[in-house]
Amino acid sequence: MTRIITAKIQPDIFKLIESGVKRFEVRSEDFNNASIIRYRSSETGETLGYYEINEYQSEIHAGSADLLALIASVSADVIDDCGLLDVPNSVYVTEIGYRIDDLEAWMEGQKQ
């Protein structure tokens, strides 16, 4: 079964994903065996796009904004604004894969 998770994202950060600059997703919660992430605008709620995500995730200590910023390809201020340093133990990281332009066709292909 395909599991889709949703992440709110600022449109300017989503552009980093589209351009391939931002290649890793960092979250305070695990990815729950998801294979797709749906990005929604934090401003409008509009779906910005669907991406495959690597089923393998890493759990890392969230002690350094600079380290998380480097992994996530965003500024340390963004990491701080997202509250990732307030996570008591660890954060979860996975690689962002290919964009899925036709979700229905992608899911149908997974059934074969």
Question: Rounded to an integer, what distance in angstroms lies between the CA atom of residue 83 and that of residue 91?
Answer: 11
DSSP state at residue 86: G
DSSP 8-state class, residue 100: E
The reported pLDDT for the residue numbered 48 is: 97
Q: What DSSP designation does 85 have?
A: G
Query: pTM of the entire structure?
Result: 0.84
For the chain, list the domains and their CATH numbers: 4-111 (2.30.130.30)
Give residue-wise pLDDT tens across range 51-108: 999 877 888 776 777 888 888 888 888 888 877 777 667 888 899 999 999 999 988 8
pLDDT(111) > 90:
no
Higher pLDDT, 5 or 28: 5
Q: How far apart are CA 20 and CA 103, in angstroms?
A: 20
Q: What is the mean pLDDT of residues 18-39?
A: 90
